[in-house]
Amino acid sequence: MAHEIELLTPFGVLGISEVWVEFNGPRLFTCENAAGHAYIGMWVMEGKDRDVYLFMAVSHERLETIRRGMMPLCVAIVSSECGIEEVTFFPDGSVAKSRHLDAEQIPKEYLPSEDAVVTIYEDQEHREPEITSVTMAVRSRREIVDVCVDGGAARFHELQTRRLGTLLLNTQDLLDDLANPESATRGRLPKALIDETQFNALPVAAGSFRIRLASANACDLFFDTGMATKAARQMVDLIQACAKPDSLGPAAEGIGPRAAGKLRDLLGDLSADGLSLTVDWGSPADHRNVARLSGREVHEAFTALTQKALPVSSIFTVHGRLTGLDTDKRSFRFHADDGSLYTGSYTDNCAEEVLMRLARQEGGTPSTATIEQIVVVVPATGETKTSNILRTLIPD
């Protein structure tokens, strides 16, 4: 990342990211090295032949806490995570000198007042994160998805634990279903697909309330993470479509009923509390796409999905064993080799005597079943209902 001002210190070149206090040059500021490690720099003494600064290495979580005025500067310094570097700069261009200070070694005259805090971002509704999604994606070679919700509450940097859990589950479920709409209509998703679209939560600074998700798998030589890339791209496109009533219907139909149901769950949970939503996707290929929905747009998209039923029928074959049959109710139970269980009704094309013979055999006979599966999103509740019809059953 390019910086307008760079400082040459004994522990490397630091680029100034944000200047909080300035007079005759930066006096209180944030900076980072080439690896993205963050520091807070603070001027503490000026002489005719030198300037003395303190540099404090900080995690991005602590940096955001300090930036939002949630931790006094004095407390941050004396409880530094990695100690303090005292750096002396010389105006004649001589090499800067530094020494490491533990908390008890910091001169009292260096410390700010106990109630001094940073509050420069109080009035900003949306602020770019200190490390953008695309910067993180390029560095880690993984897909990065930032999900930010904001309800305008005073404690905007906090979120109820239950709300956080629901937000994470709904987001991961939506990513899973978006990656492969065809598989998403066939009962339980295959484990291989789930592994490919798995995202992990990373520690990240709060931003309204922001969570950062990174694909579990790194990209290949062509900056592609496979299903994770597809899922992240489609999620951002879908959130953008939610802001446009005319495009939401076709978009929802294109992703399949189960993914549409997961989208409705995500929007419904946010709509209940009037929360806005921002999804920021960064790709290892140095691409970035951001989608934002206001609280009103979240509610309108949720309402539109609630009013629309999305039935989808698919026919597929699966190998396994017939383990149950009820001729009175014309129902069946079929265990697939991949662990999936299918229950439902069977058609007249299936000879009952054959089915009964296969079902009586202990453990069932290995067979190939042709199943029609119908998935419907119930408008009143947003839940998905799946029904299966056994069309044919052919023993091995």
Per-position DSSP letters for 243-259, written without gaps between them: T-HHHHHHHHHHH-HHH
Q: Which CATH number fits the domain that encloses residue 334?
A: 2.40.50.320
Which run of H or of E encompasses 214?
Answer: strand 210-215
At 55 the pLDDT is 95
Residues 180 and 236 occupy one common structural domain: yes
At 157 the pLDDT is 56
- Domain-embedded: residue 59: yes
Per run of 10 residues, the mean pLDDT along the chain (length 396 residues) is 72 88 86 90 86 90 82 87 87 84 88 81 45 80 84 54 82 83 55 81 61 82 78 90 81 74 84 85 86 89 74 77 86 88 85 72 80 69 74 86
Domain count for the chain, please give it. 3
Residues 298 and 335 occupy one common structural domain: no
At 3 the pLDDT is 54
First to last CA, the chain: 61
- Domain-embedded: residue 61: yes
At 178 the pLDDT is 83
Residues 297 and 358 occupy one common structural domain: no
Would strands 366-377 and 384-395 be described as parallel, antiparallel, or unpaired? Answer: antiparallel
Point out the domain boundary residue: 280, 306, 332: 306
- Domain, as residue range, for 158: 133-306
- Domain-embedded: residue 189: yes
Residues 209 and 274 occupy one common structural domain: yes
Point out the domain boundary residue: 306, 322, 345: 306
Point out the domain boundary residue: 276, 306, 336: 306
Residues 156 and 277 occupy one common structural domain: yes
At 308 the pLDDT is 63
Residues 296 and 152 occupy one common structural domain: yes
At 42 the pLDDT is 93
| Cα maximum dimension of the chain | 102
- Domain-embedded: residue 120: no
Residues 94 and 39 occupy one common structural domain: yes
